Structure 1
Amino acid sequence: MELEKLVEALKTNSTLTILDLQSNSIGPNGAQMLSKALKINSTLTTLNLTYNSIGDNGVQALTEALKSNSTLTTVSLQLHSIGANRAQALSEALKTNSTLTALDLQNNLIGDNGTRALAEALKTNSTLTTLDLKNNLIGDNGAWVLAGALKTNSTLTNLNLQVNSI
């Protein structure tokens, strides 16, 4: 399995800063392997996992890695059917992660409940500058809680809410 070789290399590599795995069907197992490497890797700053069918287990594994990873600044998790429960897990990671500056969650299923969880994280997170929630089934309630979080958050400078129901 080639992904396994790549993941093993990430554990010791000291130069790679950008990894773009968009549209590779790495699946939940691949995401779990990758998350183990992210807990060790100390150089990767950008990770694109857009459209990889990583499922709930893969998203959960990655959120656990984000809690301890201290180098990633940009993560893209577009098109993974991330719903409210996984958004809650991501929000927990955002509460402790101190390096992530951009999180791309376009084209998921976060909805108002997931947005509520992310808004709670924004109240304490002091590094995220860009949050992309385009096309996530967010309605007025979600926008309302985000607005409340923006009253206290002093770092977010780019919030994309295009193609929602606000």
Structure 2
Amino acid sequence: MYFSFLVHLKVVTLNVADNSIGENGAQALAEALKTNTTLATLNLDNNLIGENGAQALGEALKINSVLATLNLTYNSIGYNGAQALGEALKTNSTLTTLYLQNNSIGDNGAQALSQGIQMNSALTTLDLWHDSVTDKEAMALRQQV
């Protein structure tokens, strides 16, 4: 598949920003993340992975025990993608940094992330810049920190 090298190499940082990876590429990466034991940083900035790509990555994060930083800036993940990531945060204990800028997750997406954060002790940085989150939901998120 696209990223089968992740399973076999000791790659610790992968920056594939601005590469038109799309939904299928994100799903292939997610499959590789399920068995990868070395990748600590993944930058998928501006790849239009969409909701389905984010959902696949969310499923991978439930299994992966190494990834510490995930950048999904400018990927059109919307509410459903944020919800999948929020679910993953409930069980993931290694992700410390999550960049979700400019994904239009809205208040419902922020609320789903907030629910995940309530059960997560690892996440220290969550960036929701330009995500259509109102002051009310931002304050609710702030209480989780």
TM-score by length of structure 2 reads 0.95
**Alignment length (residue pairs):** 145
1: distance between equivalents of 2:116 and 2:4?
A: 32
Which residue is equivalent to 1:141?
Answer: 136
Which residue is equivalent to 1:117?
Answer: 112
Query: What SS is found at the alignment partner of 2:61?
Result: helix
2: distance between equivalents of 1:95 and 1:116?
A: 13
Query: What SS is found at the alignment partner of 1:47?
Result: strand
Contact 1:111–1:142 (Cα < 8 Å) also in 2: no
Amino acid at match of 2:98: L
Which residue is equivalent to 2:34?
Answer: 39
Query: What SS is found at the alignment partner of 1:24?
Result: coil
TM-score by length of structure 1 reads 0.83
Matched, 1:102 2:102: no
2: distance between equivalents of 1:84 and 1:56?
A: 8
1: distance between equivalents of 2:14 and 2:75?
A: 18
Which residue is equivalent to 1:10?
Answer: 6
Which residue is equivalent to 1:68?
Answer: 63
Which residue is equivalent to 1:89?
Answer: 84
Q: CA deviation at 1:149?
A: 2.2
Which residue is equivalent to 2:53?
Answer: 58
Structure 1 outlier segments of 4+, above 4 Å: none
Query: What SS is found at the alignment partner of 1:96?
Result: coil
Identity %: 54
2: distance between equivalents of 1:147 and 1:129?
A: 12
Note the residue ranges of structure 1 that are not aligned, 5 or more in a row. Answer: 151-166
Q: Which has the larger radius of gyration?
A: 1
RMSD across aligned positions (CA): 1.2
2: distance between equivalents of 1:148 and 1:46?
A: 27
Contact 1:63–1:89 (Cα < 8 Å) also in 2: yes
Which digits, 9 at most, give the CA deviation of each residue in 1:73-130, with x for residues without a partner? 0000000122222211110000110100000001110111111111111111000011
